[in-house]
Structure formats: structure tokens, C-alpha cells
Amino acid sequence: MMGNFSLNDDTMVQTAYPEYYEEFVLNKKIFPKRYHLFVLALGLGVLKGLKSEKKPYRDTVRIRDIKDNGRETIEIIYSLAFDKGGKDDWVDLLMCADGGLELIRQEYQTQGAFDLPRLLDEAESLWPDRAKELIGGLE
Amino acid sequence: MEKELKCRRRFNLMIIQKIELQNFRPFYGPNNKLNISPKEDRNVILIKALNDVGKTSLFEALRFCLYGTKRAAASHVNRKASSENDGTMSVKLTFHHNFDQYEIIRQVDFKQNTDPNTLPDLKGDIQLKITKDGVPQKLETIYEQNDYVESILPKGASKYFLFDGEKIQEYTKHPPEKNAKDAIEMVLGIRELLNARDDLKTIENDLSRELDDLLRKQAKDKNEAEDIERKRKNTEKLKDEINSHTDQMRHMQEIIDACDKDLEKFKEIREKAKRRKALEEQVKSIQQTIDETDEQLRKRNKNAGILFVSPLLNILKSLSSPLTIPKQWERAAAKALMDVDYCICGAKMDEEIRKRLAPLASEFKLTKAERIKEDSTDLIADTEPKSLRKELFGLIEEKVGLEEDKKGIKGLIEDLNKEIKEDPEEKIQTLEKTRQKASEDLKIYRTEKDEKVGVLKKEEAEYKKRQHALATETHSEEIKQKQDHIYTCESARKAIEEVIDTLVETRKNDVEKLSSAVFKQLTNRPEYYEGIVIADDYELLVKTVGSEPRHIWRQDPSSGASQILATSFIAALNRYTAREAPVVIDTPIGRLDTIHKENLINFYPELGPQVIILYQPEELDDTDIAKIRQYVAKEYEFTRDLAYHPDITLIKEVG
């Protein structure tokens, strides 16, 4: 794919919750790679307008190493919701992803399982309104 | 023989005309009467009542009047009556028997008791008054009184006349109840003959002993007389040994039967254990598939992000076309023409034209929204989220199905766990050993008994021969008389034994045939069953088409089938009984299915000369009653006045 937006290859994905990544990816093996969880958490954070209060500090993965169309997804979301031309845009994106991660963790603890079908159903119903807000920001 | 039996049956016919209850259970005061004489061709009496209103109390009243004891009497006293005053509780039966008119009143006086939580004290003993054709019968002791009632309807036999439809399956128990054989022989009139045979044998032995005494005193050859007496003692000893062997054989047989029954049970458990193991394997295999599906799902989670944002991508993909923006289409066209050699009109794109289009083409630039739309379109084309989603949900559905299967099988395993409380193998091994040992012992006892019986026959023959010889040569009138007595007893006993043999065989065959016919008439599976077989101990065996007779418990019939089996047997017994009594059925239908119920309702009028049915409205409705209406002589209903006297049952004649 030839994207119109491109993040720097060396851009680093960071998080304030490295332990969550460890839990979901390494221990529980719910996601094959950390970036798979990151892309979902980012989508959820954007959908629900979440933002973690903590600043990301721990490196998770470099943009160049993100496969399975994750990079393209991140780039689209970045340009749609975060690219305001400011220096903190990328950090805002990371805090939003951590906000999504907090919610995923919280629901996992409450339900005792990762319920992807429910998340997808929720996405189907909530994205139209949220998309309008985001697209409105473009005009 | 049949003619004779019929004559005797008529002779022993018992018909209840009236029941009067005073302060018995829910029947308060003296005015509780039921006239229940059958009319010509109408032999059924119907008594309807809701549960807990008095059906079973009436049933109990009949038993109390005939066989009641003081022990249970206090619990029968009406609570309201005993709370008001001292009083009397009584049940009076008026009936015909042997062409005679009888009245039996059993009553007891009670003291006032205001404590609803305790039973009232009784004053004195139970009194039984019997009058025959208006003449009070002089019966001094309670034993004489009870014997008198027993001669009319023995208590042991009464359970074949007064029975509870819900408990009727008890008649098909294995082994039969201890006194079942006696009771049935009593009903069939065989018991009296067996008693007569045993009595004659005892008298014969006593006379023989007396003859030996006389021979010892009067015979010239004292040594021979003493020798004869020794022989008698030997034969008596042999008889004791044979009896002891018979007891042992019976005991061994009981052990074998009990082992068989338990083995059957534990082998069933073994089968269940096998089934459980197979189910556990199935669970393992399903779990393995679930784990594999989980792994597949985990791998699919790499698409979770793209799937989650795909609705957004689809919306972005459908953003308005950039060419709708004014001038944008011209710029786009100019930019496109810069990259080709010919225009779509066919003109060659030469340098001059390119030069003119260049400024316009350089103005072409995608807006941010346009770029996002383009990227989203590419990403959707690249990842195909629709098919990813379909694949994911397919796997999830498969997993849900597998989980449900696993849950269902685990439920079956749990049910089996409740039934398999212990390891059957060890029990089976022990039981098989015990059975083996009992079988060997039984064989030994049988062989020894047969040998002893052989010796006894010889010894008895020799004893009698020598006793006869010595008695004949003694020429004593007293001895001759004794010999004549012995001979008379012996002849009578042999005659009775012949009658018993014939009677047992014919009666049993008759009952067997008739109960089979009735059973096939009543069952809902007449094609499956061949009939009923009656074992020597009167246990009921059931025979299905093409199989050997089996114990009913082995056949594992439903409770409905058991009720039908028992009813068929009772019906046949009543047909051939030597004493015909009213049949009183409490809860006649029990838990029968529709077909059994209909068959049974139609059959009940055939049960005997007087059939009293105590039912609750849910068992028999108007349609059911209509089927036997033509046989109904009287109908009563028991009710309760809940507003004023919730504990008192009122008797109302209806119909």
C-alpha cells in the first residue's frame, strides 16, 4: 500500500502500562504481538474519546516493526484524529491508546475473559457518530 | 372341581351393606353412614373426595373394624370430638357372609383432650361386639374375637381385597413378602388343606409313638420293641436333619437371590461406569478441539485492531468525491493528461499542450480528507475486514457449540456420578465369590438331603413294616385299635395330599392363565408381553414374547406396568378365591398413563361382586365415570365445610 501519510520509521510506540502488555501478550497469550493489542487499544481510545492520565514512558515497539496492516491503521487514525501539526500530537495518540488499554484491562478483570465479539458489536454501533465528529474536524 | 369351587365361593361370599363411623378420624359425631349394598348387576360403589378429606380414613376404618388394635386406636380419634368431651370412637360394619347377617362394632372410649398436639387417652380396652343373625356372639377373650373375624376374612388375605392403587407395586416385590405365600394360599383356600395335612401328620406321629409305647409294654419280644422304638427315634432325628438341610438350602437360595439382585445392580453400575468413561473421553476430545479453536481465535486476534476500526474505515471510504470540489476535476484531468501520450479525444499530447496544462496540473493537491479516504480505501482492499469478521465469528460460533456439547456431556457425567457412588468392580468380585460359595453349599446340602430322604424312606418303611409285624403278633385289642387309628389318619392324609396336589396345580394354573389374560387386556403393550408366570413362592414373573419368564424387577417395568401387573394378579386371585370379599381400592388410578387408565377403569367392575372405589376428582372425571356408570350402584362424595368445620368430613350421597 502506498499511504498518503507516513510516520517516521523510528517513531517509538510507548506506554504507561508495560505490565498490561506483558499480561495480555506474554502471559495470557491473547494477542500474538504487542502491536496487535496497541492497534485495538488505540481504536477503542479514539472511539470512546479516552485519554490516560499517565504519560507513556516505556518503549513497546518501533513503527517500522509493526506488521499486519497495523502501521497503516495507526497512520490513518493519526492523521484523522491527532495530526494537528503540534509536537505533542504523537504523545496524545499514545495516551489515547493507553486510555483504551485501561478499559480493555478493566473489562477483562470484570468479565474474566477478553470479549472481542462484544467490542466489535460496540464498534459497529458507535463508530458512525464518532466518525462524524472526527470528519467534522477535518473540514 | 370347577363347579365345586363355584359353589364354595358363593358360600363364602361377603358383601358389606353398611358402614357407620363415629368420631373416627375426620368423621365427627355418630351420624356418618354409608349404605353400600350392590344392586343387581350394579356392583360398583364410587366415593369421591379431594385429597386429605377422608378417602384413606374410610379405608383405615374398614381395617380398624376388622383387625384394629388399641395401639393405633388413639390416633384415629376425631380431634374435635376429643377436644369437647369424653366420648366413644367406633366403626360398625353390617354385612352378609355365608348367607348369614353380621354386625361387627369395634369401639373404644376416649377421654377429653384439649391439647391439639397430643393424642387423647383411652378408657379401658377396645371392645368388639359381633352379632350373627341378630344374636350376640359370646366371645370371651380378644383372641377368640380376633379368630372369629379372621375366619370371615383373614387379615393376611385382606391385602388382596383392600388395597391402595398407589402402593400396589409392592405386590410385585422380589423376593415376595415373607407371608405372601401363606396369604395367597389362604385366599385360594389351600392353606386350610395344608394345615389339615400337617395336623394329621402330627396326630399320626403321636399315635405311632403311643403304639411303640404299647408294644414295649405288651409285646413278647421286648428287644424287637425297643429296636423299633430306636428306629422311630432315628427316623425322627433324620427328619430333623432333613428339615435343617431344607432351612439351610432356603438360606443358601436367599443368598444366591440376593447376590443375583445385587450383581444385577452393580453390573448396571459397571455399565454406567463404562458409559461415564466413554463420555469423559468425549469431553477430552471436545476440549482438545476447543483448545485448538482457542488457538485459532488467538491467532485471529491479530486482526482485532483492523476489525475494530473497519466501520470507521468504511465511513471514511465513502467520503464525498474530491472531484465535486469546484475546479478540482479540471486540475485532476490536467494532471492525468500530463502523464499520457494521447488525450482521450485522440489528439497527441505534444510539448505545447503540456506546457499549457502544466500550471493547472500543478494546482492539483488532495485535501486531508481526500488522502484519508484514499488510504482507507486501500486499507480495506488490502485487509478485507468483512471476510476476516466472517471467519472470526464462524470460529466463535463453533466454539460456543463445542462448549454447549461439553456442558451437556458433563451434565450426563454428573448424573452418572450420583448413581455411581462406589467402585462396582470390588463389589462384583465379592458378590460373585459369595454366590459361588452359596451355590456350592446349596449343591452339597441338596445332595446330602437327597441321600437322607432316601435313607429316611427306607428306614420309615422298615420301621412301619416291623412295627406292623410286631403289633400283629401281639394280638392286643388296644394295639389293634391304635393301628386302625394310624391307618385312618394315614388314609385321610394321603387323600388330602392328593387334593392339595391337584388343587395347587389347577388353581395356580388357573390364576396364572387368568392373570395373564387380564394383564394383556390391561397393558398398553399387549404385543410385547406374553403373560404372567407364578413361581412356587408365588412371586410374579413376567414373560415377554420369545423370552424366558423373568423376575419383574429384572424386567424393570414402569410403575404403571407394575400396577397393571399387580392388579391383574389380584383380579385373577379374586376370581378363584375361596372367600369372596368386597374389593376396596384407594387411589385406583395412581400415576397411570391414559391407555392403562382407560383399560383399568373398564376392568374394575369385573374385579368382584362388590367393588368400592375411593377416588379423587383428578383421577376420574365425568367421562371416565360414564364408562362404568351402568355398573354403579351408589355414589358418595366426602366434603369439608371449610368455613365452619375445616377438620370435619361430611358424607353426601350423590347421583
Lowest mean pLDDT among B430-434, B557-561, B570-574, B602-606: B557-561
Rounded Cα distance, B643 and B398, in Å: 62
Helices B559-576, B477-522: axis angle to 10 degrees equals 140
Q: Would the pLDDT of B8 be above 60?
A: no
Q: If pLDDT is split at 50, 70 and 90, which confidence band does A76 have?
A: very high
Among candidates B79, B60, B56, B59, which has minimal Cα distance to B68?
A: B60
Q: Which residue has the higher pLDDT, A2 or B425?
A: B425
Listed by number, the residues of chain A in 37-66 with a beta carbon closer than 8 Å to a beta carbon of chain B are 37-40, 42-44, 46-47
Cβ–Cβ gap B304/A39 under 8 Å: yes
Q: Which residue has the higher pLDDT, B144 or B304?
A: B304
Among candidates B416, B307, B17, B305, which has minimal Cα distance to A13?
A: B305
Rounded Cα distance, A37 and B208, in Å: 109
Lowest mean pLDDT among A130-139, B244-253, B406-415: A130-139
Mean pLDDT, chain A, integer: 91
Give pLDDT, residue B551: 73
Q: Would the pLDDT of B599 be above 90?
A: no
Burial B630-655 (b: 16+ CB within 10 A, else e): ebbbbbbbbebeeeeeeebbbbeeee
Rounded Cα distance, B24 and B78, in Å: 5
pLDDT tens column, B530-541: 888 888 777 778
Task: Identify the contact set of chain B against chain A, taking CB-CB distances under 8 A.
Answer: 297-299, 301-313, 315-316, 319, 366-369, 371-372, 374-376, 378-379, 382-383, 389, 392-393, 396
Q: Would you state the cell numbers that stand for residue B1, as one nine-digit string?
A: 372341581
Q: Would the pLDDT of B82 be above 60?
A: yes
| Mean pLDDT calculated for residue range B449-454 | 94
Q: Would the pLDDT of B645 be above 80?
A: no
Q: Would you state the cell numbers that stand for residue B156, as one nine-digit string?
A: 393376611
Residue B105 phi/psi, 5° resolution? -120, 125
Among candidates B476, B480, B500, B499, which has minimal Cα distance to B488?
A: B480
Mean pLDDT, chain B, integer: 85
Give pLDDT, residue B553: 60
Listed by number, the residues of chain A in 88-117 with a beta carbon closer than 8 Å to a beta carbon of chain B are 114, 116-117
- From the CA of B304, how many Å to the nearest CA of chain A? 6
Residue B131 phi/psi, 5° resolution? -120, 140
Q: If pLDDT is split at 50, 70 and 90, which confidence band does B170 have?
A: low
Q: If pLDDT is split at 50, 70 and 90, which confidence band does B324 have?
A: low
Hey, of B294, B297, B306, B312, which one would you mutate to test binding to chain A, going by the most A CBs within 10 A of its CB? B312
Give pLDDT, residue B504: 76
Cβ–Cβ gap B302/A77 under 8 Å: no
Give pLDDT, residue B532: 87
Q: If pLDDT is split at 50, 70 and 90, which confidence band does B10 have?
A: very low
**pTM score over 0.90:** no
Q: How many Cα atoms within 13 Å fall on the side-chain side of residue B456?
A: 16
Q: Which residue has the higher pLDDT, A6 or B101?
A: B101
What percentage of residues in chain B have a pLDDT greater than 90? 41
| Mean pLDDT calculated for residue range B615-640 | 91
- From the CA of B407, how many Å to the nearest CA of chain A? 18
**Chain A residues closer than 8 Å to B383 by CB:** 69
Question: Does residue A1 sit at the B interface (CB-CB below 8 Å)?
Answer: yes
SS3 B177: coil
Q: Would the pLDDT of B457 be above 80?
A: yes
pLDDT tens column, B122-135: 998 889 999 999 99
| Mean pLDDT calculated for residue range B415-440 | 90
Give pLDDT, residue B147: 81
Q: What is the DSSP letter of B168?
A: G
- From the CA of B317, how many Å to the nearest CA of chain A? 12
- Which of the residue ranges B30-34, B53-57, B161-165, B547-551 has the most confident prediction, judged by mean pLDDT? B30-34
Cβ–Cβ gap A116/B393 under 8 Å: no
Give pLDDT, residue B166: 64
Q: Would the pLDDT of B581 be above 60?
A: yes
* Residue of B308, B372, B375 with shortest CB distance to A120: B308
Q: By the 8 A CB rule, do B23 and B588 touch? A: no
Q: Would the pLDDT of B335 be above 80?
A: yes
Hey, of A28, A76, A78, which one would you mutate to test binding to chain B, going by the most B CBs within 10 A of its CB? A76
- Which of the residue ranges A120-124, B296-300, B648-652 has the most confident prediction, judged by mean pLDDT? A120-124
Q: By the 8 A CB rule, do B618 and B590 touch? A: no
Give pLDDT, residue B167: 65
**Chain B residues closer than 8 Å to A124 by CB:** 311
* Residue of A72, A123, A124 with shortest CB distance to B379: A72
Rounded Cα distance, B500 and B517, in Å: 25
A&B contacts, CB < 8 Å: 122
- Which of the residue ranges A14-23, B314-323, B474-483 has the most confident prediction, judged by mean pLDDT? A14-23
Give pLDDT, residue B165: 66
pLDDT tens column, B189-241: 777 788 888 899 999 999 999 999 999 888 888 899 999 999 999 999 999 99
Q: Would the pLDDT of B445 be above 60?
A: yes
Q: Would the pLDDT of B1 be above 80?
A: no
pLDDT tens column, B351-362: 888 888 888 888
Give pLDDT, residue A139: 54
Cα-Cα-Cα-Cα dihedral of B532, B192, B99, B567, to 10°? -20
Q: If pLDDT is split at 50, 70 and 90, which confidence band does B116 have?
A: confident
Q: Would the pLDDT of B2 be above 60?
A: no
Lowest mean pLDDT among B42-51, B430-439, B540-549, B556-565: B556-565
Q: Would the pLDDT of B12 be above 90?
A: no
SS3 B543: strand
